Amino acid sequence: MAIIKRRVNVAAGGSNPNALNGSVFEFLRAPSEVRMGIVGEFGAAVGTLLAKVTIGDSVVQESSPVKIEAAAGRGVNVNEDIDIVDAGLQNQRLLVELVNNDVAARDFDIYVLIA
C-alpha cells in the first residue's frame, strides 16, 4: 500500500498540469486499486476549483469542480471525500490536473491511496 498526500497552491486564474509530479508513487508499481480525494481551500467560491484525473490513458474524472473544505485547514477527510476509485496497471502514470478559476490563489489538498 502507498499513500500520496499533497497540498498544492495554484495562482488565481492558473493551473497545475500534474500535481503529483515527482512523487515516487506517480507511476504505479503493480496492478493497483487507486482511491483518491481532492478538496479545495475553505473560502473558495463553489465551482471555481477544478480537477481532471487520469490513470494511464484513461480519464477517470473529467475537469470537474472539487469539493470545498468544510473548515479551514481540514484537508481531505478519508471517510467523506474519497470519491474517485478506479484500477490501474503497472507503469501507468497518475495525473491530476488542477485549475483555479477563483479570484485568489487557492490550495488544493490531494489524498491518494494505492493498494
Q: Taking CA 52 as the corner, what is the angle to CA 8 and CA 29, rounded to the nearest 5 degrees?
A: 80
What's the whole-number mean pLDDT along residues 69-95? 94
pTM of the predicted model as reported, rounded to 2 decimal places: 0.95
Q: Which residues pair with 38 in a beta bridge?
A: 110
Encode pLDDT of 18-77 as tens digits. Answer: 999 999 999 999 999 999 999 999 999 999 999 999 999 999 999 999 999 988 889 999
Q: Which domain holds residue 73?
A: 2-114
Q: So what's the pLDDT on residue 91?
A: 98
Helix, strand, or coil here: 6? strand
Residue 107 pLDDT level (bands cut at 50, 70, 90): very high
Q: What is the pLDDT of residue 71?
A: 86
Enumerate residues 6+ apart whose C-beta is below 8 A from 9: 105, 106, 107, 108
For the chain, how many structural domains are there in total?
1
DSSP three-state, residue 34: strand
How far apart, in whole angstroms, are the C-alpha atoms of residue 10 and residue 24?
A: 22
Question: 3-state class of 89 per DSSP?
Answer: coil
Position 29 scores a pLDDT of: 97
Residue 64, domain CATH: 2.60.120.380
